[in-house]
Amino acid sequence: MNKAKEILIVEDDKDMQGFYKEMLKEEGYNLTLASNGKEGIERIKKKRFDLVILDIIMEEPTGDRLFALLRKSPMYKEVPVIFVSVFKKDTYVCTKALGHVSYLEKPFTKEDLLEEIRKSIGQC
């Protein structure tokens, strides 16, 4: 039996955290939630996740700064990342500058989220 994929979700909004838990509760993933960028950094230091879902607009470090840190780490150089924001993808210069990343615009449905996760983890 395959080991369940480990997903780290960095999201500062409690309601959004609840949506993630509800949407993914029966999908066979192991979820770890971090409530801000600092907590996200602590989590990624401890183990390697298969996928990181990053809210962009948070207290420092913001999602895009955390992403830049991830890509500097040899352990996370290739780990897929999904950015999440209420803004459209084109709003973010960082997503253009840093190459291909997946992007989910809020509001999204469970189906949207699962599709992005499957596409991202499939890229590993």
Partner 1 sequence: MARNKTSGLSESLVRYLSHELKSPLAKMEMSLRLYEKAFKANGSKDAQKRMEVYDTLIGSIHRLKHNMQNALDLFSLSSCHTELKKDSVILGELVSCAIKEVRGEAERKGIKLVSSLSKDIPTVPGDSQKIYNVLINLLDNALKFTDKGRVRVSVRTLPPRVEVSVSDTGIGLDTDNERISRLFEPFTENAEEITHPGLGLFVCKSIIERHGGEIWAESKGQNKGATIRFTLPA
| Residue 77 interacts with partner 1 (CB under 8 A): yes or no | no
The count of C-alpha atoms lying within 13 angstroms of the C-alpha of 1, restricted to the half-sphere facing its C-beta, is 3
* Cis amide linkage into residue 61, ω under 30° from 0: yes
| Residue 21 interacts with partner 1 (CB under 8 A): yes or no | no
Residue 58 neighbours by CB distance under 10 Å? 22
| Residue 42 interacts with partner 1 (CB under 8 A): yes or no | no
In the list 4, 30, 57, 100, the residue contacting partner 1 (rule: CB under 8 A) is 57
Interface residues toward partner 1, by CB under 8 A: 13, 15-16, 19, 22-23, 57, 86-88, 90-91, 106-110
